Amino acid sequence: MEKTFLMVKPDGVQRGLIGEIVRRFEQKGLQLVAAKLVQVSREQAERHYAEHVGKPFFDNLINFITSGPVFAMVWQGDQVIALSRTMIGKTNSLEALPGTIRGDFAVHTNLNLIHGSDSPESAEREIANFFRPEEVLDYSKAI
Ligand code: CMP
């Protein structure tokens, strides 16, 4: 079963949106297999956003993601990577459609509430940056 790394960013945690965001993915039928609040270190943030090194927004991004706790999660499901990105909405706040998490709750591209892996390779790398293998649980859904 495919897995993805989703992270409620500091703005989402501070705005009390963890429950709303988790509810959406649970309601969709995806399975939560790992979760924790994390104060991200600079090194961990730079590993997470390695593909953005050198971009004009990189320093702001690292400062922002280390500014307060994030809620790190691993979700599992059929095509969960593409599905969760559809539910999250576009990165550019002007293109994030109503009905998506960013479209419903975010105004700024920099304060866009949630991160989702964009490929199986990214998901594997991002999950390993936040969770030890034994923290990702394998359990049957009761229903
Ligand atoms: P995220 O999905 O976490 O991946 C990289 C983040 O950089 C992105 O969400 C935005 O929060 C932030 N960002 C800021 N400016 C840009 C930009 N021009 N293009 C892409 N990402 C940006």
Q: Residues 86-124: pLDDT tens digits?
A: 999 999 989 999 999 999 999 999 999 999 999 999 999
Query: What's this model's pTM, rounded to 2 decimal places?
Result: 0.95
The CB of 61 under 6 Å from ligand 1? The reply is yes
> How remote is the CA of residue 104 from the centroid of ligand 1, in Å?
18
Q: Residues 4-46: pLDDT tens digits?
A: 999 999 999 999 999 999 999 999 999 999 999 999 999 999 9
> Look-up: residue for tokens 């999950």?
127
Q: Which residues are catalytic?
A: 115
So what CATH class is 3-135? alpha beta
The CB of 109 under 6 Å from ligand 1? The reply is yes
What is the per-residue pLDDT for 140? 87
pLDDT for 51 beyond 70: yes
Bridge partner list, 115: 7
Dist. CA 30–CA 112, nearest whole Å: 21
- pLDDT (mean) for 61-68: 98
> How remote is the CA of residue 30 from the centroid of ligand 1, in Å?
25
Each domain of the chain, given as residue ranges in start order, spans 3-135
Distances (CA, A) of 116 to 56, 66, 73, 131, 143: 21, 17, 10, 15, 26
Q: Which two tokens stand for residue 39?
A: 């104060």
